[in-house]
Each structure stands twice: as C-alpha cells, then as structure tokens.
Structure 1
C-alpha cells in the first residue's frame, strides 16, 4: 500500500504542478487556455469517482472477492494514465486539444484509486484505517516535494517533457501496478496487542 500510494502520488503531484507549463510551452496554448485546461482532469475526476464507486460496489455485491475488486480498480487507476502519457509523449501528430483530451482522460481515470488503494486501508483494518492511511499518505506526500523538483531538474537538463514529466510517471505507474497485483490484499488484519 505504501509503494502504491507513492506511485500514484508521483503522477498526480508532478502533473498537477507541471501540466500548465507543459500545455503552454509544449502545446502552444496561451496562459489563459493552459490554466483552464489544467482544471479539466480534476473536474472529470468527479464523474469518474462516482462511476468507479458504483463499479466496485456492484462487483462486490455480485460476489467478486474484495481483493480482486481492489486490484482491478487500482490497475485501472495506474494503467490508464500510463497509457495516456505514453500516447501523449509519442509523436503522433495529435492536435493540442486532442493531447489535452488524452491526458485528461488518463488522469481522470486515476480516480479509480479511490475504489482501489484508498478502500484497502478500511478493508484490512476498520479500527486502524486512519493510522494506516496516515502512514501511506505520509510516504505519498514525498513525491510532492521530490517529484516536482526532480521534474524541473530533468526538464532543465534534458529539455524534454517526455523524459522529465512522462517517463518517471509512467515508470511509477507501471511498477506500482506490478507491485499492487502481486502483493495487495484486502484480507482483514488484526493489530491488537492481545493477538
């Protein structure tokens, strides 16, 4: 859970910080357009979150094991932005607004994490879910400092948005998916002293 939280936060925080600049410098949008399109992923995420919650609840109510549901949702949350970042970084000749649409779609679909990783804390220990979330969220805050600064450093060094913004995020999304699929579990755990 700790590594998955770190990986998801890396993509989230670096994009939150750097997409307006990317939209302006790389896609040629003016400052006002870049600012407006930068709010699209969070806005679309509101709708995706509602769908993801219903999707997960329906699967669980139809007898799908909770761990499997959490793995499916988190895999969607990680692979969607990774695929969309790969598409955006390739020279496919897409017009700027289509690149914005692709990135918005991928980042909005990362909201499936709310039915994946973020529910797992409650699944494994309702009593200590807040403590578990505090631990994973503390580690998840690190990319907000390190990832944002490293992206700027890489951009200054390479002058490549692909190498500085997309490749690290894609790496963390893909490695996070692998770790999540291999190790995630919603099996209840007991953390009491008497156990």
Structure 2
C-alpha cells in the first residue's frame, strides 16, 4: 500500500534526465563541428585546397560562433534555454547536411566557408544554454559532475563517432559524412522539445526536488520570467579581474580543443604517415581519455567541496593541474613511434578533460540575472581560439612544412592557462550588482536536511 506522506517527502530526479538530453545534444554539437576535420584529407584532394585555404575553412565556424556569443546570450536570457537550444540544434544540423553539396558550386571554398559560418552562428547559444540549464537544475555540490558530464560529450563525440564518420567517408564518400550527421541532429532536435523543460514548468518534477535544488544553491526559478538586457552588467562582468583571468584560461584550454577538432586527423596522416582507415581507429583513443579525464575532474572538484575545501580550491585545483599536464603534448615532436604518439596525445587530452571545469566556474560566479550574457562572454573569449588556432597552425604548416611548432604552440597554451588561474583569477565568488546575495549553501546538504527544512516551514 502506498504511503502518501512518503510520496511527498521523496524527491524526483528529473534533473538527471535533463542532463542526459544535454549530453546527447552536446555530442551532436561536436560531431557536427568535427565533420570537416574528418572529411578534410579527402575533401582537400578533391577540391584542391592547400593548408592555408583549409585552415581558413576550418576557422569559418569560429568567426560566427565567437562574435555572436553575446547576442546569443541576450537571446537566451530573453527566451530561455529550451526554445533557443532546440531551434539552434535543428538549424545547425540542416546547415551540416547542406555542406555535402559544396562540390556542386562554382566556388566550393566560398560555399563551404559560408555554410560553416552560418553553422557557427546557429551553434552560438549552445554552451551558454547548457550552463544555464545546469545552474537551474542542479545544486552547487552536484554541479561539478553535471558540468563534467556535458563537457565530456565533446570527447565522447570524437571517440564514438570518429570511426563511424571515417567508415562513412571511406565507404560512401566525404559528402555522406555531412548528410548522415545532419539528419541525425534534426531528429534529436525534435526529441529535445518533447523531453526538456525548465524546472518550474516541468510536470514530471515535484516540489521536493525543486526545494533540494534551491537549498543547494541552484536557481530553478531563473527561467520563470524574461530578463532584460543591461550594458551595466556587461561592463561589470567584463571589467572584473577574476572574470578576465577565467576568460584567458578558457581561451588557452579551447586552443587545445581546436587542435584536436581540426588538424589532428591531418597531423596523423601527414606528420606520422598513417592511413585514413587507421586514423579512424586510433584518433578515437585520445578523446576516450579526455572523456575519462572530464568525469574525474568533475568528481574531484565535487569531492573537495564535500570535504569542506573552499569553492576556490575545489574548482581551481583540477583546472590548474590539467592545464599543466596538457603541455606534455610537445613530447610527440620527439618520437616517430605511433603507439607513443597516441599515448602522449591521450595524456594531453585526458589532462585537458580534467581541467575542463570553466563552465562550472561560470555557473558559480556569474550574476544570477545575467547568466546567459556572462556565459556568452566567457564562450566568446574562449572561442576566439576557434578562429586563431586553425589559421595559426595552417600558417605554421605552410611556412615550415612541419607540425612541430604547432605542437609547441598547443603546449604553450596549457602553460599560459595555468598561469591565468594561478595568478590572475584569485578567489572565486559570485558577482553581484542589482540582486541580493546568495543564501549560504551547505555542500553536505542531503535529503534528510531538506526534509527537516520542509517540516520546519510547515
């Protein structure tokens, strides 16, 4: 026989379903970004692109994605994550599909550049929307793992889908890499609208779960009403030393990401002499390590919070350690052994995953009434690397005929990012200007505490 009092006291766990959907959407966010890097060796041969031309094509996504971050954040604060991210997913997947037809245009390069540029524009709100949803759905002491899960989607995407996309390329041609991923993304976009809602608008969630999220420092009410845009908030965020250090650290970390997203398959073929089919298998190994590192970084950070460490120590320690270790990528310059090269790349990607907690920090320190804009500014600065890195590496290859300097550049980004968190960021605390201070949060908060809270209010 059901006990009605027990059903009231037992919280639902809808937030984990939301996290699964965020993970799936982020997987296809990165699958779509990676399509061009997989197609690049064959596409370059068919269309006659040199390294600089290919680097510019790689960067097209980054130009729009980066410069539209702040408009995307304003739209997020106005219309909410569910609507904006769902529409974005369907749009960017359609643009991915169309890239399979670029060889039919009189200028394939112009067609490819325009479609990648528009795809970057469509994806601009994606990560700020992910961050906004996790802040709404998760208490602070669960947010490190929640952020690590959706961040690890980028590694899972490369690990799981690189072999599939390489097989598709070798069997059907590079055009079908774009066709298949585009169709899959559109279908997932339709599923998103059915499965994802904001906390207080979701009929599956009960009040106990809302109380649990709110008492733990989550912001389930953030999406209840549109938030007007304010330049004052932008100036306050952009002029803060802590935020500037976080932005620099994210630029450095994202530079490492974009080496793997763009030039890594070409590096394995041209610098290490691997075949395309072999690249399809071994190129998946470093992202698997990155996925593992991402989960470990999130668990490590949340464990430190539960043990009573400060927010500053719990968030910055994994990031700094990860960035320092990622600089080991330069060791690949000193060996031709394929197993050793893959090991070095895997260690670097694992370390980058451990340090990939920037979005978690943004959720911890952003003003509550500017979460979308703050996340957009963070992603803007980080993804300047999506413009700089592909072109810089393309120029290095063209001018020097070698990837050695390129790997030194990637390693230097890891060291600079660690410097930013060590000496610029300082203590982590939420920025405030026109809103009340956060209530104190107990990182050891559990269901028993929440039950006591509810009884004391009844």
What TM-score comes out, normalization by structure 1 length?
0.88
Q: In the alignment, what sits opposite 1:121?
A: 362
Q: Unaligned 5+ residue runs, structure 2?
A: 1-245, 438-458
Matches within 5 A, 1:67-106: 67-83=312-328, 85-89=329-333, 91=334, 93=335, 95-106=337-348
1:141 corresponds to 2:386: no
Matches within 5 A, 1:35-184: 35-83=280-328, 85-89=329-333, 91=334, 93=335, 95-115=337-357, 117-125=358-366, 127=368, 128-163=370-405, 165-184=406-425
CA distance, structure 1, for counterparts of residue 423 and residue 374 of structure 2: 20
Query: For the Cα contact (< 8 Å) 2:251–2:385, is it kept in 1?
Result: yes
The structural deviation recorded for 1:35 is 2.6
Q: Unaligned 5+ residue runs, structure 1?
A: none
Query: For the Cα contact (< 8 Å) 2:320–2:418, is it kept in 1?
Result: yes
Q: Deviations over 1:69-126 (max 9, x none)?
A: 222111122112212x12212x2x46211211211121122112333x2211111136
The structural deviation recorded for 1:162 is 1.3
1:21 corresponds to 2:266: yes
What TM-score comes out, normalization by structure 2 length?
0.39
The structural deviation recorded for 1:68 is 1.4
The structural deviation recorded for 1:64 is 1.2
Could you say if the C-alpha distance between residues 126 and 46 of structure 1 is closer, same or farther in structure 2, counting changes exceeding 3 Å? Answer: farther
1:33 to 278, 291, 294: 278
Q: Which has the larger radius of gyration?
A: 2
Query: For the Cα contact (< 8 Å) 2:256–2:352, is it kept in 1?
Result: no
What do you get for the CA RMSD once the two structures are aligned? 2.0
The structural deviation recorded for 1:177 is 0.8
> Comparing both chains, which one has the higher relative contact order based on Cα–Cα distances under 8 Å and sequence gaps of 6 or more?
1
Q: In the alignment, what sits opposite 1:192?
A: 434
CA distance, structure 1, for counterparts of residue 282 and residue 434 of structure 2: 48
Query: For the Cα contact (< 8 Å) 2:285–2:346, is it kept in 1?
Result: yes
Q: In the alignment, what sits opposite 1:10?
A: 255
The structural deviation recorded for 1:194 is 8.9
Secondary structure at the residue paired with 1:43?
A: helix
Query: For the Cα contact (< 8 Å) 2:367–2:432, is it kept in 1?
Result: no
